[in-house]
């Protein structure tokens, strides 16, 4: 790490580039999962390419057959014997030989055409197999990569989610995978094909007529240069347009979503001006692309075409002096395409490869992330929880930060107690409750449940016995029933319903036409924050845990509902050890123990009565932070 930092920037960049290539190689290594199909794809590619290379030979045969035959016919049909003899001598042949040529011409042409059709079908078949197999493997690779990413993401510790946003992770699994797929499905294969075509074609051309081949070689560098220019110019131009477009869309978005504000403040003219500016900017950048692309593409074609004119002259001269057959010229012309075409492909592939490399690196960054929280090799199953929880000198620091979020926190919760956690945002409340189900590991000290260090037991056995209601409730697509039974998919309908009733969710669930079968999530019914929360509570209660953790759980519902939930919870907390991040006064009041936190340390601990007496901090929090009740929600929900 140090060495890299102190190295000069250039070598850093080199190292990085090399690293990226390494990732791309690793991505290509996924082809190993689909060895047979990969083999088929590349095998078919070789066959199809070679078949393609046969075509000009056949065309040459056809044309030579026609030309020779036609000339023979003309000479043979000259009525004047003398003239015919002169022609024969000029052509340096005999009448018999011409007659044979003429007689054989039809079958020669027929044969060549038949062969071309056979090759066409053959090549078509293999080209299809190649394209299909390549797509098959590429889709397979994308599939495997997505699975790997997903599996990894599911098992990462909470601190990973703290550091990474959903949107970014999504992009890895979608756009980045797509880019790698595109490169492997097309780029890699095309590179192979391009080199194959280029090498074989040039070899054939050299062997048939090296002088003619030399005539076109000077053109090759031009097309390579043009493609390099193309790649260099196009990417930043498109990036620019993309940037302008998203700017324009932001203005548009703001005006659609904020139309009331725009109208209320009568700011249409200002907004129109903002939009016009963005619009003009976009227009100018589109024109830049238009300028570059309108001429670059035709020029690239032009360079390829110039070869045809060059060949016409050089080959033509050879034909005229009799050293070249006209069919061979045609063949040459056809082969020309096979030289310029792959060069063009290589130009495209370079940019494809650069993108794929960067994407592969991002993908493997995820796949290579080690989960910080895993079972110890000799972890045992946690026996049924009784409910004693102890924090022993627990210190917690976030990944590579020096300031502790929790500093030497110690406390004991007895079986069946309710512990209320209080403190300002960032005081460490949430961290404490996250340490119990081992979403994070303590940096120092230990968390014990019934005397077992949570790091010594199997994660599954630990978490399955703890009921958790997180601050933000996420529901998953599926029915309401599925969501409540999230932690116990095999729960009976009755158990699900009881949990819902206890969480004051049953009534509103029954109001949906499909009741418990109402689907929620992405494409389902939209639930209000309060409804979601009650489902989350039901979900936790269904586990019938001995340990219950509630984070801000009752802040987003209206008062009437809240009282219902509160009553249900009070009831439910009775036989369980519960940790509650308190937002409401009533919660704090009823707790067996209140822990007051400030900057990661416990500053006061005790019951409400004790604390109100002798803790000024508690008194202040009580007065200012807890929701007191003269500002209720007046919506009749």
Partner 1 sequence: MMMDQRRLFDQETRKAKNVLGTIRRFSVYFRPYWLNLFAVVAFTLVVVYCNILYPELIGQAADCYLISTPTVQMGGSGVPTADCWYTDITQLTTTEAKVSGLLGLAFTIAGTFLVSALFTGFSFYTMRLAGQGALRDMRGDLFGHMHNLSIGYYSRNEAGEIMSRLTNDMDTLQQMFNFALLNVFQGVMIIFWIGVAMLRENLVYGLISLSVAPLMLFVTRYFSGQARKAFRVARKEIGQVNADLQESIAGAREVQAFNREEESIAQFQRANEANRAANVRAAVFTSALNPVLEAFSYVALGIVVLVGGFSALNNQPLIEGTAVITIGTIFAFIAYIQRINQPISQIAVLWTNVQSGIAGGERIFNLMDETIEVVDRENAKQMPPIIGEVSFNDVEAEYVKGEKVLRGINFDVKKGEMVAIVGPTGAGKTTIINMIPRFYDVTGGSVLIDGVDVREVTQDSLRQQIGMVLQDTFLFSDTVMENIRYGRLSASDDEVIVAAKMVAAHEFIERLPEGYQTVLGERGSGLSQGQRQLIAIARVALMNPNILILDEATSSVDTRTERVIQSAFEKLLEGRTSFVIAHRLSTIRNADMVLMVKDGQIIERGTHQELLAHGGAYYDLYMSQFKAEEDVA
Q: Which of residues 59-98 bind partner 1 (CB under 8 A)?
A: 59, 62-63, 65-67, 69-71, 73-75, 77-80, 83-84, 86-87, 90-91
Beta carbon of residue 91, minimum distance to partner 1 (angstroms, whole number):
7
Q: Which of residues 423-442 bind partner 1 (CB under 8 A)?
A: 425, 437, 439
Scanning 116-124, 343-351, 415-423, 511-519 for contacts with partner 1 by CB under 8 A, the matching segment is 116-124
Coil, helix or strand at residue 391: strand
Is residue 119 part of the contact set for partner 1 (CB under 8 A)?
yes
Beta carbon of residue 73, minimum distance to partner 1 (angstroms, whole number):
5
Is residue 637 part of the contact set for partner 1 (CB under 8 A)?
yes
Residue 143 or residue 512: which is nearer to partner 1 going by CB?
143
> Please, how many CA atoms are within 13 Å of residue 188, restricted to the half-sphere of its CB?
24
Q: CA torsion angle for 392, 393, 398, 400 (degrees, to 10)? A: -130
Assess contact for 116 and 124: CB atoms under 8 A. no
Residue 113 or residue 350: which is nearer to partner 1 going by CB?
113
Is residue 36 part of the contact set for partner 1 (CB under 8 A)?
no
Beta carbon of residue 252, minimum distance to partner 1 (angstroms, whole number):
7
Is residue 487 part of the contact set for partner 1 (CB under 8 A)?
yes
Residues in contact with partner 1, counted by CB under 8 A, come to a total of 164
Is residue 159 part of the contact set for partner 1 (CB under 8 A)?
no
Report phi then psi at 370, rounded to 5: -90, 135
Give the residue, chosen from 28, 127, 220, 612, that forms a contact with partner 1 under the rule CB under 8 A. Answer: 127
Is residue 316 part of the contact set for partner 1 (CB under 8 A)?
yes
- Which residues contact residue 38 at a Cβ distance below 8 angstroms, ignoring those fewer than 6 apart? 31, 133, 137
Scanning 99-107, 342-350, 405-413, 505-513 for contacts with partner 1 by CB under 8 A, the matching segment is 99-107
Is residue 5 part of the contact set for partner 1 (CB under 8 A)?
no
Q: Which of residues 582-601 bind partner 1 (CB under 8 A)?
A: 585-586
Give the residue, chosen from 11, 94, 100, 151, that forms a contact with partner 1 under the rule CB under 8 A. Answer: 151
Lookup: tokens for 230: 């193309």
598-608 burial code (b ≥16 CB/10 A, e <16): bebebebbbbb
Lookup: tokens for 355: 């993108």
Report phi then psi at 551, rounded to 5: -110, 115
Residue 272 or residue 392: which is nearer to partner 1 going by CB?
272
> Please, how many CA atoms are within 13 Å of residue 152, restricted to the half-sphere of its CB?
18
Q: Could you tell me which residues are beta bridge partners of residue 468?
A: 549
Return the residue matching tokens 């219902």. 564
Is residue 154 part of the contact set for partner 1 (CB under 8 A)?
yes
Is residue 161 part of the contact set for partner 1 (CB under 8 A)?
yes
Is residue 250 part of the contact set for partner 1 (CB under 8 A)?
yes
Is residue 207 part of the contact set for partner 1 (CB under 8 A)?
no
Give, as one character, the DSSP assignment of residue 584: B
Residue 130 or residue 578: which is nearer to partner 1 going by CB?
130
Strands 452-453, 547-551: pairing is unpaired
Assess contact for 148 and 33: CB atoms under 8 A. no
- The Cα 336–Cα 338 span in angstroms is 5
Beta carbon of residue 140, minimum distance to partner 1 (angstroms, whole number):
7
Give the residue, chosen from 47, 182, 196, 262, that forms a contact with partner 1 under the rule CB under 8 A. Answer: 262
Q: Which of residues 399-418 bind partner 1 (CB under 8 A)?
A: none
Distance in Å from the first CA to the final CA of the chain: 58
Assess contact for 394 and 56: CB atoms under 8 A. no
Q: Which of residues 603-632 bind partner 1 (CB under 8 A)?
A: 624-632
- The Cα 579–Cα 354 span in angstroms is 51
Residue 142 or residue 409: which is nearer to partner 1 going by CB?
142
- The Cα 321–Cα 45 span in angstroms is 40
Give the residue, chosen from 206, 275, 411, 512, that forms a contact with partner 1 under the rule CB under 8 A. Answer: 275
Assess contact for 152 and 335: CB atoms under 8 A. no
Report phi then psi at 8, rounded to 5: -65, 150
Lookup: tokens for 505: 């969710």
Is residue 55 part of the contact set for partner 1 (CB under 8 A)?
yes
Residue 365 or residue 628: which is nearer to partner 1 going by CB?
628
Beta carbon of residue 107, minimum distance to partner 1 (angstroms, whole number):
11
Scanning 217-225, 250-258, 381-389, 567-575 for contacts with partner 1 by CB under 8 A, the matching segment is 250-258
Give the residue, chosen from 121, 214, 225, 243, that forms a contact with partner 1 under the rule CB under 8 A. Answer: 121
Beta carbon of residue 387, minimum distance to partner 1 (angstroms, whole number):
18
Residue 452 or residue 584: which is nearer to partner 1 going by CB?
584
Long-range contacts made by residues 507-510, C-beta under 8 angstroms, separation at least 24?
Answer: 508/534, 509/480
Give, as one character, the DSSP assignment of residue 79: S
Is residue 215 part of the contact set for partner 1 (CB under 8 A)?
no
Lookup: tokens for 329: 């010229």
Give the residue, chosen from 270, 370, 376, 574, that forms a contact with partner 1 under the rule CB under 8 A. Answer: 270
Lookup: tokens for 144: 């495997």
- The Cα 591–Cα 582 span in angstroms is 10
Site map 521..550 versus partner 1, x via CB under 8 A? xxx---------------x---x-------
- The Cα 28–Cα 572 span in angstroms is 55
Is residue 570 part of the contact set for partner 1 (CB under 8 A)?
no
Give the residue, chosen from 28, 54, 113, 350, that forms a contact with partner 1 under the rule CB under 8 A. Answer: 113
Give the residue, chosen from 31, 40, 156, 582, that forms a contact with partner 1 under the rule CB under 8 A. Answer: 156
Scanning 220-228, 340-348, 444-452, 469-477 for contacts with partner 1 by CB under 8 A, the matching segment is 469-477
Scanning 306-314, 400-408, 443-451, 494-502 for contacts with partner 1 by CB under 8 A, the matching segment is 306-314
Assess contact for 576 and 387: CB atoms under 8 A. yes
Q: Which of residues 319-378 bind partner 1 (CB under 8 A)?
A: 319-322, 326, 329-330
- Residue 273's CB is within 10 A of a number of other CB atoms, namely 11
- The Cα 200–Cα 206 span in angstroms is 10
Task: Compute the Cα dihedral for 598, 610, 551, 459 and give only its sign.
Answer: positive
């Amino acid at each position: 790490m140090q060495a890299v930092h102190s190295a000069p920037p250039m070598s850093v960049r080199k190292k990085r580039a090399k690293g990226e290539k390494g990732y791309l190689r690793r991505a290509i290594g996924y082809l190993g999962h689909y060895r047979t199909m990969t083999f088929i794809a590349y095998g078919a590619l070789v066959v199809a390419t070679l078949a393609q290379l046969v075509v000009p030979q056949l065309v040459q045969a056809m044309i030579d057959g026609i030309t020779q035959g036609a000339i023979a016919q003309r000479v043979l049909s000259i009525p004047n014997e003398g003239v015919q003899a002169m022609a024969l001598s000029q052509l340096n042949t005999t009448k018999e030989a011409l007659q044979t040529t003429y007689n054989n011409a039809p079958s020669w042409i027929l044969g060549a055409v038949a062969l071309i059709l056979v090759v066409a079908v053959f090549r078509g078949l293999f080209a299809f197999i190649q394209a299909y197999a390549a797509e098959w493997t590429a889709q397979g690779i994308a599939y495997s990569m997505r699975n790997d990413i997903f599996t990894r993401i599911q098992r990462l510790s909470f601190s990973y989610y703290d550091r990474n946003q959903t949107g970014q992770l999504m992009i890895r699994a979608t756009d980045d995978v797509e880019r790698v797929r595109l490169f492997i499905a097309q780029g890699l294969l095309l590179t192979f094909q391009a080199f194959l075509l280029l090498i074989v074609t040039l070899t054939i051309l050299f062997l048939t007529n090296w002088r003619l081949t030399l005539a076109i070689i000077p053109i090759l560098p031009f097309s390579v240069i043009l493609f390099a220019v193309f790649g260099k110019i196009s990417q930043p131009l498109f990036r620019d347009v993309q940037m302008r477009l998203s700017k324009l869309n932001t203005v548009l978005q703001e005006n659609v979503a904020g139309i009331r504000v725009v109208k209320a403040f009568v700011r249409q003219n200002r907004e129109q001006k903002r939009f016009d500016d963005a619009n003009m900017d976009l227009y100018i950048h589109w024109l830049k692309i238009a300028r570059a692309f309108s001429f670059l593409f035709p020029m690239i074609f032009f360079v390829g075409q110039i070869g045809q004119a060059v060949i016409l002259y050089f080959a033509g001269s050879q034909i005229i002096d009799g050293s070249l057959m006209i069919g061979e010229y045609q063949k040459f012309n056809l082969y020309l395409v096979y030289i310029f075409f792959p060069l063009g492909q290589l130009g495209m592939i370079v940019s494809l490869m650069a993108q794929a490399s960067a994407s592969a690196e991002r993908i493997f960054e995820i796949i290579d992330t080690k989960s910080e929280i895993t079972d110890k090799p000799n972890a045992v199953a946690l026996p049924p929880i009784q409910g004693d929880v102890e924090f022993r000198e627990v210190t917690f620091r976030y990944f590579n930060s020096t300031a502790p979020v929790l500093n030497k926190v110690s406390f004991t919760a007895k079986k069946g107690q309710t512990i209320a956690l209080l403190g300002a945002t960032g005081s460490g409340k949430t961290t404490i409750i996250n340490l119990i189900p081992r979403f994070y590991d303590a940096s120092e000290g230990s968390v014990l449940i019934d005397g077992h260090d949570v790091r010594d037991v199997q994660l599954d056995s630990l978490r399955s016995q703890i009921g958790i209601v997180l601050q933000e409730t996420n529901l998953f697509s599926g029915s309401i029933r599925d969501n409540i039974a999230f932690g116990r998919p095999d729960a009976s309908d009755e158990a699900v319903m009881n949990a819902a009733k206890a969480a004051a969710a049953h009534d509103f669930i029954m109001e949906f036409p499909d009741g418990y079968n109402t689907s929620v999530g992405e494409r389902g019914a939209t639930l209000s924050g309060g409804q979601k929360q009650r489902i989350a509570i039901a979900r936790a209660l269904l586990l019938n845990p001995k340990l219950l953790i509630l984070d801000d759980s009752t802040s987003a519902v209206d008062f009437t509902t809240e009282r219902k939930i509160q009553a249900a919870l009070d009831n439910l907390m009775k036989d369980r050890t519960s940790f509650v991040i308190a937002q409401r006064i009533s919660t704090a009041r009823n707790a067996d123990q209140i822990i007051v936190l400030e900057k990661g340390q416990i500053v006061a601990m005790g019951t409400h009565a004790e604390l109100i007496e002798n803790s000024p901090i508690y008194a202040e929090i009580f007065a200012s932070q807890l929701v007191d009740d003269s500002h209720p929600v007046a919506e009749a929900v």
